[in-house]
A and B are shown apart, each in its own frame.
Chain A
Amino acid sequence: KQEVTQIPAALSVPEGENLVLNCSFTDSAIYNLQWFRQDPGKGLTSLLLIQSSQREQTSGRLNASLDKSSGRSTLYIAASQPGDSATYLCAVTGGIQGAQKLVFGQGTRLTINP
């Protein structure tokens, strides 16, 4: 059974810092990996999706990497801003039989201090 772990559970940094959020998964036979952002009381916003054949994806100040063989992904946020404060969730879809279904980590609650 696929399990997804995100460390740390919470992170607080001053504005302007570059930071890395970590995600690990137990079964390397994934179809893709998706990073989401969730603001309090809101839905999930898709940030980046990495296909299993890809190594990284970039969107603005965000860069996500994927090392499928070691079961790891990182989300790099450059020049953090207070507006980046949110919970960040990592999720993977399983192998062929589990394609499409997302398995989520517990999330990292990020606070950017002005």
Chain B
Amino acid sequence: DAEITQSPRHKITETGRQVTLACHQTWNHNNMFWYRQDLGHGLRLIHYSYGVQDTNKGEVSDGYSVSRSNTEDLPLTLESAASSQTSVYFCASSGQGAGANNEQFFGPGTRLTVL
């Protein structure tokens, strides 16, 4: 069955370190998204991509970057981790084009702690 996976599931890092969170989907979806979920703020969009080589900033993109070199993967990089980036990170994907209804499917999440 098609799925979307994230790794690692849990990560503890130190302030200032670079961290990369992986997202891999086997739906063959063109669209991929990264969200963060925080108490009091709900889910907020960080970055998104509509296809290979396409990336766009979301609502809370400062301090984060993404790259899309193939259809299946959209890694999220924290350039220099800060305590304010302690959160749960979710990756999602959706199809587009004729026959697609743009329903988004989510991965299991990565819990990141920045000390």
Contact B48 A101 (CB under 8 A): yes
Contact A102 B45 (CB under 8 A): yes
Given A44-B106, A100-B48, also A106-B31 (CB < 8 A): no
Contact residues in B for A89 (Cβ distance below 8 Å):
42-43
Given A43-B90, A43-B107, also A101-B45 (CB < 8 A): yes
Q: Which residues of chain A (26-50) have a CB below 8 Å from chain B? A: 31-32, 34, 36, 42-46, 49
Given A43-B90, A89-B43, A107-B42, also A102-B104 (CB < 8 A): yes
Q: Which residues of chain B (4-59) have a CB below 8 Å from chain A? A: 31, 33, 35, 42-45, 48, 50, 58
What count of chain B residues pass the 8 Å CB interface test? 23
Q: Taking the complex as formed, is B64 at the interface, i.e. its CB lies under 8 A from any CB of chain A?
A: no
Contact residues in A for B105 (Cβ distance below 8 Å):
46
Main secondary structure of the interface of B (DSSP, over half): strand
Interface size class of A (residues with CB under 8 A): 20 to 34
Q: Taking the complex as formed, is B69 at the interface, i.e. its CB lies under 8 A from any CB of chain A?
A: no
Expressed in whole angstroms, the Cα–Cα distance for A100 and B33 within the complex equals 9
Given A100-B50, A106-B42, also A34-B103 (CB < 8 A): yes
Q: Taking the complex as formed, is B83 at the interface, i.e. its CB lies under 8 A from any CB of chain A?
A: no
Contact residues in A for B102 (Cβ distance below 8 Å):
31-32, 49, 93, 99-100
User: Which 3 pairs across A and B sit closest by C-beta, in order of nearness?
Assistant: A44-B106, A104-B43, A43-B108
Measured CB to CB, the residues of B under 8 A from A are: 31, 33, 35, 42-45, 48, 50, 58, 90, 92, 94, 96, 101-109
For the A-B complex with A34-B104, A44-B106 known, give 20 more contacts whose Cβ atoms are closer than 8 Å: A32-B101, A32-B102, A42-B108, A42-B109, A43-B106, A43-B107, A43-B108, A43-B109, A44-B92, A46-B106, A49-B102, A51-B101, A89-B42, A99-B102, A100-B50, A100-B94, A102-B33, A102-B43, A103-B45, A104-B43
